[in-house]
Amino acid sequence: MKLAKYITSIFFIGSLILLPLVAQAELIDETFGSTFGLGTSDLQSTVTKIIQWVLGLLGLIAVIMILYGGFIWMTAGGNEERVETAKKIITAAVVGLVVVLLAWAIVIFVIRTGENVAGIDA
């Protein structure tokens, strides 16, 4: 459980540091973005791609945690303490996966709503 908290903390801190830098770099110099594979598309699509990539990575981490909890459960050997630990890991991972899926749905909804509003104004 401590390993999962450590990995999640590192990931979120890295995201908080890197996402603004990538967005700022896109605004300052478009060649910087193309150098790092971000292309020369507008800021909205770049940020959308980054958000979807991050959410995909978080979903992958949640699935790995479910598998880890299942592994702990299967190797518990009848030890009730390890079974309870595995149940807690799986429950937390499923809740995390649901949160990631809901966040992804919200992002898609906001993007489509923004595109529809932009289409009406144009």
Residues 6+ apart with CB under 8 A from 113: none
Task: Check residue 122 and give its pLDDT.
Answer: 45
Residue type, 13: I
* CA pair distance 7, 61, nearest whole angstrom: 9
Task: Check residue 61 and give its pLDDT.
Answer: 92
Helices (H), 1-122: 2-28, 30-35, 43-74, 80-121
- Domain enclosing residue 100, as ranges: 2-121
Q: Into how many domains does the chain fold?
A: 1
Task: Check residue 107 and give its pLDDT.
Answer: 87
Residue type, 108: I
* CA pair distance 29, 22, nearest whole angstrom: 11
Q: Which residues of the chain have pLDDT under 50?
A: 121-122
* CA pair distance 91, 113, nearest whole angstrom: 33
The answer to pTM > 0.85 is no
Q: 62 near 98, Cβ under 8 Å?
A: no
